[in-house]
Structure 1
């Protein structure tokens, strides 16, 4: 479809292949004078808190501008932001997750159209705004799929009677299913507890399924209707969703009934310790793998596969790549604090120190012209994302979950998935909940 999604795909190719270094000029780059401005950043991902604290200290040491970073607990960002934004010392820099988030926070989002970090976007159509104003600027592109341990797969391929003999054969759901189910049957020979790490359905930990996995059927339905959003969904591709979700549940390290007790950290630890061969997650998860005590997975064995569901034509499908991370500046903060926050973001994307933190420590793939080809993450999952983006024969699945009605809708869907996994809800009931919940919130 001729849409923002097409432009995003073009951006991703540009990011992977043709990034050029350009100077970031203008008064925005000058740090606020000591005592005339400060920064309070409300961060989104708990696993990045330590790095953001280091960044805050480094910036303050360099400029004298105070930077405070508070990180919301997993799954509580919206609630935390609502509580913090009403305080006297409210966040000056925060994030919205796309068009829906922009509508929710318009009263607190300053126009960023004149900032250097907006004007250095490789594709300005990725920013969110309306009426000629920009209220959110993406600061990273990310990709997710099925992460796998090549070493365990190689061990399987060497077994007598293996139904699949290389990952090059895995181009659709049917082949993936054959591979996974045969590996599960041979898990003792492979020394694993299950093919997939545990499906984390604990409340607040289910975002991989109620958001990331749900991106696929929603995008497919958008495509069929040549649109970027819909007030009503048929959940037309619910069977495709069920295909892969059932494959996860039934070929896991744990019984499906235990999924509601597991967190993302549990599943990533299982993968890192070699108890599982595969796990659905994104390039940001490499730190969670490499930093697990006792990690047995070598960097060169960490690979990624698209999420195949059984949809027709999926042999040319790539990873799910996009962003839900948009910087916004609090329009109700003082002018000095707004300027200090803009200067801080400009420092992140233009200074040598800031860029090093963004790439080397946060592991970001930044969508700005200020980053050269050599200023890209070196970790294996980021390399996988860049490799898929560079493959012109594959079609990226864009992140449309930023159009989902609300966090409440996603939480309700996650709860329904948990009940389904536990045998307490039929799949048809899950589908009905998705359809009615979507329509009720979109049309309210």
Structure 2
């Protein structure tokens, strides 16, 4: 059964900002609501690993005082935010979801957290991550699995599962995540919220614990796409282009070229996208994208954890440990070839846009949220590995560094399905234009 939602369910950042400036609510009151919801829903969802009540209330009082004095930092001023426990927040524990970092407290903020503070946001706490972000299921963490608000016995997705659960449950209206193969968009799709992974490097990753530096992106999750855009504008080095109302040419990318897909999920996503044209990946490109992603991630992740793997393997979750051992066996020559292949694949996919399309639309995830700990699922009449299925439609855009946005498309058997929109760097505003139209006309 779904959990009873918290105070921010269905509330947009824009609405909250208006209430703050009209004096209908204070930032301190919003912070208290978030803290109360985190305490109430904590046992059911495990969305937060650390809650900083004292720090949140102090930041909220500062935000109120600044607004009263006429100092307005923008749309995030006074808004409660969750931060994934892979992103450094000075003075707050950062476990990375692992026993390796029990008791670790960083003394400096990540670059994106510095931007959050400069925007006046109120950091409520750190959200649960799959151990070291190395998994899309969200159910392997030293503090236990994050759970889906639609059904706590099901996956929230990962690795930013706590952020997805916290936003979907209405504990906070906005949360930061990281996305190496889909780790923002997968939880967004499974939990029924919006998740945005910008172009590679658009939000600086300084102070974020790495998984795979070539593929890592900082992203945002919110109830609606418009709030992801507000946050992105505050976090990015360059402000996104403005929507000037030009027609957006959207094409449906047939997901069959990447993975088997639940036809009900695909139908909902396609209806929400409203894309008249259909394009397909050339034969074999899907397999090449999967191989390239796997090799790059494996080699870079093994390098990050080589000393821990050699010196204290018993501190890893057993499933994560096994994956790391397999990753460490990938030879260097495959990494070199994968980096070369990445450039070639960029050219292949660019042809889909060169054909006259601005945005590609496809499902975010080919299935609804699986039960916790489930590692196989039936898709389109065949058995698939859950981890591979969760990553299949999102990881290509990490390989290519393209902006990708996931928004709710509807429900299948009472569980959310997501629509994913992809564009070239610089066209991010077009994603949000399509998302706005999908939100008005798509099934809910």
Q: Output the TM-score relative to the length of structure 2.
A: 0.26
| Larger relative contact order (CA 8 Å, sep ≥ 6) | 1
Greater helix share, structure number: 1
